[in-house]
Amino acid sequence: MYQKTVLPNGVRVVSEAIPHFHSVSLGIWINTGSRDETAPENGLAHFLEHMAFKGTGRRNTYDLAREIDQLGGAANAFTTKESTCFHGKVLADQLPRLFDLLGDIVLNPMYDNDDLEKERQVILQEICTLEDTPDEYVHDLFSRWFWGDSAFGRPIMGDAQTVNRYSRRLLLDYRQAHYHPDRLVIAAAGRLQHETLLDLAAATFGDFLNGNRFPGREAVCTFPGHHHLERDLEQVHLVLGGKAPGSGESSRFVAILLNLILGGNMSSRLFQEVRENRGLCYSIYSFLHCFSDTGVLGVGAAVGPENLGILLDTVREEISKMQHQEVSPAELQAAQDYSRASFYLSAEDSDNRMMRLAKNEINFGHYISYEEIINRLEAVTPKQIMAMAQDWLNLDNWHTVSLGPLR
């Protein structure tokens, strides 16, 4: 059962009670991420997430690590372009202890200067790890060039230049400017009672105030084109993509199915034609990312340099087919069945339920049932798929990024 309460200071508390679960997942979400940073601040939201685990007024770094282990579950955090989340999963009777721990690191981080210097080195190594992982790094490069020189295009972790400039004062200023009660969502799913969660939230966050006004977000722009970064690798890593519907647009349901049919699973057109029929490469897929006000739909692959040309031709051919021929009812039904199964199977996990609660609240301000999503997907027609392919799979508006042994 879904329930929602808004505290007097604007903090939103949402829960979904699932009595037959033994676990409960808790997330404390702040609706701020890398797209809310200025150029000198790039990477600060991610840095703040790291520093939260380096000690509070009540717990040092070792205390936090030991208590997380003693809970027997898991506790972690992540930063995206639009959100920062501190989350954990424990047995139901450990919810108060988990809430106290997560609330402490969100509200009372120390940002000790010695710890800041240590974590600076950790994040610089994290950036190096990304750059040493070409199948991930090519997506980072695509984001930079497709979205241009804007907060949306900059890397979530920042770069070595910005990370080396961070100071305790800069962290405190950013936190004061972006961590607001009305941008904070507390979400929990599993074996719990909403009243218990509400009592914990009120006791911990009821006095949380921040008088600064959130600066707002800039609209995003996209830039078609091509970039190549030469690197001594065995394969060329490739990402090409264009703009897609945002999470608030009803056409996203059409985009979900178009993505699946194009390259979203093993029976998709790209996987079958590029890998199974032609044996051009091992890795080929399409992807769809929906943000609050925009999205991106694209194709990723890793291929030997000798096969790059024919792979690109094949991708163009498959896109052209989707633009000029309606998908068959059987192919559409297969994608709808896959989506339905994926949604319901993900509902078996309390982490997925918690994250879905929070994202719905942040993006829409209310709960959206699984049944409503399935009904919207099952209402999509072949004509809608072809119309979206003609509109959104326009290669003239796409950007292509390649990384590997090409001049």
Does 212 score more than 90 pLDDT?
no
Last residue of a domain, one of 173, 205, 237: 205
Query: Which positions are annotated as active-site residues?
Result: 49
Does 214 score more than 90 pLDDT?
no
Q: Note whether residue 343 is domain-resident.
A: yes
The string of pLDDT tens digits covering residues 237-248 is 999 999 999 999
**Can you give the pLDDT at residue 191?**
97
Give dist(CA 331, CA 261) in Å, integer.
7
Cβ atoms of residues 251 and 388 within 8 Å: yes
Neighbours of 118 (CB within 10 A): 11
- DSSP conformational letter for 371: H
94 and 163 housed in the same domain: yes
Give dist(CA 362, CA 373) in Å, integer.
17
Give dist(CA 194, CA 202) in Å, integer.
12
What are residue 188's DSSP bridge partners?
Answer: 15, 26
Cβ atoms of residues 82 and 292 within 8 Å: yes
Does 100 score more than 80 pLDDT?
yes
The amino acid sitting at 186 is I
Q: Note whether residue 216 is domain-resident.
A: no
Residues 6+ away with beta carbon under 8 Å from 221: 147, 148, 150
3-state secondary structure 196-227: HHHHHHHHHHCCCCCCCCCCCCCCCCCCCEEE
- The pLDDT confidence band at residue 315, using thresholds 50, 70 and 90, is very high
Give dist(CA 84, CA 96) in Å, integer.
21
**Can you give the pLDDT at residue 211?**
65
Residues 6+ away with beta carbon under 8 Å from 113: 168
Does 14 score more than 90 pLDDT?
yes
374 and 239 housed in the same domain: yes
Cβ atoms of residues 135 and 237 within 8 Å: yes
% of the chain beyond a pLDDT of 90:
95
179 and 270 housed in the same domain: no
From 85-89, 134-138, 154-158, 217-221, the region with the lowest mean pLDDT = 217-221
- The pLDDT confidence band at residue 216, using thresholds 50, 70 and 90, is confident
Give dist(CA 274, CA 268) in Å, integer.
10
Residue 189 main-chain phi, psi, to 5 deg: -145, 140
**Can you give the pLDDT at residue 407?**
75
67 and 156 housed in the same domain: yes
Number of domain units in the chain: 2
Using alpha carbons only, give the angle 103, 61, 100 rounded to the nearest 5 degrees. 20
243 and 333 housed in the same domain: yes
Does 213 score more than 90 pLDDT?
no
CATH number of the structural domain spanning residue 260: 3.30.830.10
Q: Note whether residue 210 is domain-resident.
A: no
147 and 251 housed in the same domain: no
108 and 243 housed in the same domain: no
Among 242, 176, 211, 220, smallest CA distance to 392 is for 242
Give dist(CA 242, CA 147) in Å, integer.
10
Q: Note whether residue 19 is domain-resident.
A: yes
Q: What would the mean pLDDT of 109-123 be, rounded to a whole number?
A: 96
- The pLDDT confidence band at residue 210, using thresholds 50, 70 and 90, is confident
Q: Note whether residue 220 is domain-resident.
A: no
Does 353 score more than 90 pLDDT?
yes
Using a 10 angstrom Cβ sphere, with 0-12 exposed, 13-18 middle and 19 or more buried, the burial of residue 383 is exposed
Helix (H, G, I), strand (E, B) or coil at 403: strand
Containing structural domain, residue 201: 2-205
Q: What would the mean pLDDT of 207-226 be, rounded to a whole number?
A: 85
Cβ atoms of residues 43 and 159 within 8 Å: yes
Does 9 score more than 70 pLDDT?
yes
Last residue of a domain, one of 170, 205, 240: 205
**What tokens were used for 52?**
């939260």
pTM: 0.94
237 and 194 housed in the same domain: no
Q: Note whether residue 392 is domain-resident.
A: yes
